[in-house]
Amino acid sequence: MAAPVTPGHTSNPVAPGDLSWGGLQGPPDTPPEPKQLPELIRLKRDGDRLSEGDIRGFVRAVVDGSAQGVQIGAMLMAIRLRGMDLEETVALTQALAKSGEQLEWPEAWRQQLVDKHSTGGVGDKVSLVLAPALAACGCKQVPMISGRGLGHTGGTLDKLESIPGFTVIQSPEQMQGLLEQVGCCIVGQSKKLVPADGILYEARDVTATVDSLPLITASILSKKVVESLSALLVDVKFGAAAVFPSQAEARELAEALVGVGAGLGLQVAAALTAMDNPLGRSVGHTLEVEEALLCMDGAGPPDLRDLVTRLGGTLLWLSRQAEDPAEGAARVAATLDDGSARDRFERMLAKQGVDPRLARALCSGTPAQRRQLLPRAREREELLAPADGTVELVRALPLARVLHELGAGRSRAGEPLRPAVGAELLVGVGEKLRRGTPWLRVHLDAPALSGPQRRALQGALVLSARAPFAAPSPFAELILPPAAPQQ
């Protein structure tokens, strides 16, 4: 069954570049004195609205270092608790985007520039597959600016950095070279590229403000504004292991992204996808790289392939490179089956610092050979099914929390990770499981799991007495921008 499509809510459409949204006026002849940070924090703490100048002043202080860490955290928490209206969110997005350099591309690339972003999930390695697949489809330019892990979710950059030599920091000139030669790149935020968001992104991770709707919206779109995209698709996760537990809450963020994007002159669509179970069968940095390669072999878990092809197909359609999402999805699937996406991935690795011999070995080797080439955990421990039954659910959140404790995630900004820590699901949702059969293999650097960790992981497995069944697709709904092409 096709996922429902909802038009984006943009009650006050504006022309690209007009960011007034009916409320922001031109600067007065004599600008007022800028407010001090404590006053700005107090205003937002008390539920008042920040002006465009106030927001620019806060972002400027973040970048020039005059804002102390405690002040940044206080402002983030005030925004988290009091929120921001549409005008404030547009202003924050603009200020973050303008805090560094803007990316400029050849005019001939304009219709080919597409990107995808995820709000974060457990086992979400879609970007590792989708960027090279889109490049292989002819979206020659996919300047994917990604992030690191937030909260219990893993970051795309952390996964790629588990490959020895991979370099995420690239200058605009290096990015253009990558796009010309490979067709895709996955990079991080340098101090020159959206530096303010890089600082706030790390602070959100350690101040319990990851789930703030305006902060999420501004963080995502600021990185995309500087990319000069023709189309952006945001994968908004919902469920027990997502930032937003319910589909309705995720839809609120999706509509904000579509609306703010329209105000910034950016064509944004949003897919709502479920995140109760981990995506795929592997969680953890190196294990997810291995599973992404398996998907690019034309194999791997069906839910991962389904999401990659659906998201990619929608982007090809939005950028008018496919007649409809189904045709686009078929083209993406073909790149996975014929090896062309994997070839692009290999070239991207080699151009972003990985030894070309290692890149070739990873992309041409068997799964067993690949495991020998990436960091490996010191220990493995398997958990056994406590009873007979059909797998109804593998709760992603307790699984992610235990792996976080074992070193797969951060508790402080800049903290090093253990890339080989992770877990393999040995069964999938809908499959029959016998008592005493291994269902989970944990990769850890500690001697063994603790008792509480083992109990938490066993509690993640939910069994039922019903017959085996086909697991549903995680893809639930698509929210489109006003200017989307007609199907």
Q: Could you list the active site residues?
A: 115-118, 156, 204, 219, 223-224
- For residue 206, what are the CA distances in angstroms to 118, 334, 352, 381? 19, 41, 29, 30
- Convert 199-212 to b/e letters by CB count within 10 Å (16 or more is b): bbbbbbbbbebbbb
As a whole number of angstroms, the distance between CA 404 and CA 417 comes to 9
Residue with token string 């919206």: 217
* Cα 173 from chain centroid (whole Å): 24
Which are the contacts of 137, defined by CB distance < 8 A and separation ≥ 6?
312, 316, 321, 328, 331, 332, 335
Instruction: Let me know: does 424 contact 357? Beta carbons within 8 Å.
Output: no
As a whole number of angstroms, the distance between CA 328 and CA 182 comes to 20
Type of residue found at 97? A
As a whole number of angstroms, the distance between CA 461 and CA 150 comes to 24
Q: Which of 314, 290, 341 is nearest to 443 (CA)?
A: 290
Tokens standing for residue 262: 């329209």
Q: Which of 481, 22, 17 is nearest to 254 (CA)?
A: 481
Q: How far apart are the first and last CA of the chain?
A: 16
Instruction: Let me know: does 57 contact 18? Beta carbons within 8 Å.
Output: no
Other CB atoms within 10 A of residue 18 CB:
13
